[in-house]
Structure 1
Amino acid sequence: MEGKKTVRAAERALDILLCFIQKPELSLTEIARMTELNKSTVYRLLATLEDKGFLVRDGETEKYRLGFRIWELSAHLSRSDDPALLFLPEMERLRDQIEETVSLYVRDGLERVRVQAVESLQAIRRVAPVGARMPLAVGAAGKVLTAFSPLSDQALILGDPNWPDSVDKKMYRLQLENIRDTGIATSVEEREAGTSAVSVPIFGRDGNILAALAVSGPVSRLTKEKMEEVIPPVKEAAERMQKMLK
């Protein structure tokens, strides 16, 4: 990285840990493929991470999973600094009120990351793992995060070489203008078939967008009429979350 000095071994070890965002259990071969490292290097790094308690190896399957040190570290996250922890009670309250899945997303470069979620208690529900990375071009939360990003960042997002051909950029820009005016974004089967969503921004202490609060569910329940009903409580929840930051 230009302008920064990094330790290659540490980078590789962290890359291995990040693989577990995609799957809870991984074999040496899978990790080597995902990190594009040779197996001997991966094996040595895995042995170190296992020895330090960051990974655990199943003796029967020979697969690795996150170890107790990860959970020990996460237990010491500051609730006041981490919105994923700070906002969780309000997200649970909103879920109980509207009976659909509530998620919190942040932007990371040209993607959005689901950093917290409270799943609907209904039998049929949308399930996406915390830590999942998704495109900004589609989905209500992606559009919210883009709409309230600086114009320079919006230009980078719209210039993404992986921009999907199915999304018309002119129409997308018009959607962003409407979202900035109303503070609301909706989507119907944009990212995932059979799913609709509503999203609103949460602004930080500095006035910049911090996260996108989203409600999602099957289109059979979260119809356009239902989305209109849930918008007021979703906006109220976002306002309460913002006040918690002051």
Structure 2
Amino acid sequence: MEEEKRTVRAVERALDVLLCFASRHEWGLTEIAGRVGLHKSTVHRLLATLEDKGFVTRDAATDKYRLGLSVLELSAHLFRSDDPSVVLLPEMEKLRDEISETISLYVRDRSERVRIQAVQSMQAIRRVATVGARLPLSVGASSKVLLAFANDGDRETVLADPSWPAQLDLQTFAKQLDEIVSTGYATSFEEREPGAAAVAAPIFNRSGKLVAALAVSGPSNRLTPDRMHEYAPAIIESAHRMGALLG
């Protein structure tokens, strides 16, 4: 049993090392050790194993580590023909061309939202959305949509999470979620960061299950509250079309 625990712990540590590369493409040994809170000798052994299996590669000139080809081999099998990030991409591009702002697709993963697809705006000044980015559920139009239209049990679980920001009044936030259900969409104006705004609507599959949040984001001086409300019907209609494509 003790040996099994050590083995599982080693796997957890190796995964923690790999997850460093979700936020940056290149890391040094000391940087990774500081990020994951492990001794450099431990991290060095983990990196050596990951390198041997092709999950990371080391640049001899800079002594920095990057993701290896094994990650690419795994990701090739990530997307299926029924994956929303693949199926909905043409509709996302169509909405981008109609509204001229960045379009994103988010799903909920426990107490976070994850951007699984994005179509960048063609405008010179735009919101650049990185696929794979994880963001908190406490702020943002997409977060509110994913919580507002979740079943009651899921919503209560998230709001009861100890990591939920203490400064947010739960009663006020819950009332806001109920209002979003009534209007069919959510907006955010400089909630997560200055100069950014977004409007989002839910995507339900043909069985009525919430699949994702469809979001339009852009600079707040262009995507004003009035403009977001103006765009809302087109976003909701696009979300309906996307839902019809999903089983």
Q: One fold, TM greater than 0.5?
A: yes
CA distance in 2 between partners of 1:88 and 1:79 (Å): 13
The residue aligned with 1:77 is 78
Q: Which amino acid aligns with 2:164?
A: W
AA aligned opposite 2:52? D
Cα distance change on mapping 1:205 and 1:46 into 2, 3 Å: farther
Please tell me whether residue 211 in structure 1 is matched to residue 185 in structure 2.
no
1:51 is the counterpart of 2:52:
yes
TM superposition score normalised by structure 2: 0.89
Q: Which residue of 1 aligns with 2:192?
A: 191
Q: 1:156 maps to what in 2?
A: 157
Alignment of 1:132 with 2:133, yes or no, is yes
* Segment drifting more, 213-222 vs 160-169: 160-169
Q: How far off is 1:206 after superposition?
A: 4.5
Structure 1 residue matching 2:46: 3-state secondary structure: helix
Cα deviation code 1:42-66 (max 9, x no counterpart): 1122112222222121112211111
* Displacement of 1:29: 1.6
1:175 to 1:77, Cα distance in 2 relative to 1, 3 A = same
Instruction: Indicate the residue corresponding to 2:17 in structure 1.
Output: 16
Q: Deviations over 1:133-152 (max 9, x none)?
A: 21111110010111112222
Structure 1 segment 1-246 matched on structure 2, within 5 A: 7-204=8-205, 206-246=207-247
Q: Give me the TM-score of the superposition, normalised by structure 1.
A: 0.90
Partner Cα separation in structure 1 for residue 63 and residue 86 of structure 2: 33
Aligned partners of 2:102 and 2:129 also within 8 Å: no
Amino acid at match of 2:151: P
**Structure-1 separation of matches of 2:82 and 2:56:** 26
What is the CA distance between 1:166 and its match in structure 2? 4.5
Deviates further, 159-168 or 139-148:
159-168
SS at match of 1:60: coil
- Paired-residue identity, %: 61
Contact 2:206 2:244 in 1 (8 A): no
Matches of 1:47 and 1:206, distance apart in 2: 47
C-alpha distance in structure 2 between counterparts of 1:86 and 1:8, whole Å: 37
Q: Which amino acid aligns with 1:52?
A: K
Measure, in 2, the Cα distance between the counterparts of 1:128 and 1:93. Answer: 17
**In 1: Cα distance, 2:90 partner to 2:72 partner:** 20
Stretches of structure 1 that go unaligned for 5 or more consecutive residues are none
Aligned pairs, number: 243
- Superposed displacement of residue 165, structure 1: 4.5
For residue 200 of structure 1, report the CA deviation from its aligned partner. 0.7
CA deviation string 1:129-176 (max 9, x = no partner): 222221111110010111112222222322233333543322211111
Q: How far apart in 2 are the matches of 1:197 and 1:124? A: 15
Moved over 6 A (4+): none
Task: Note the alpha carbon deviations across 1:70-114, whole angstroms, 9 max, x for none.
Answer: 222222234324222222222122112211111111111111112
User: Residues 166, 99 of structure 1: CA spacing in aligned structure 2 closer, same or farther, 3 A cutoff?
Assistant: farther
Q: CA RMSD in A?
A: 2.1
Q: Distance in 2 between matches of 1:90 and 1:216?
A: 16
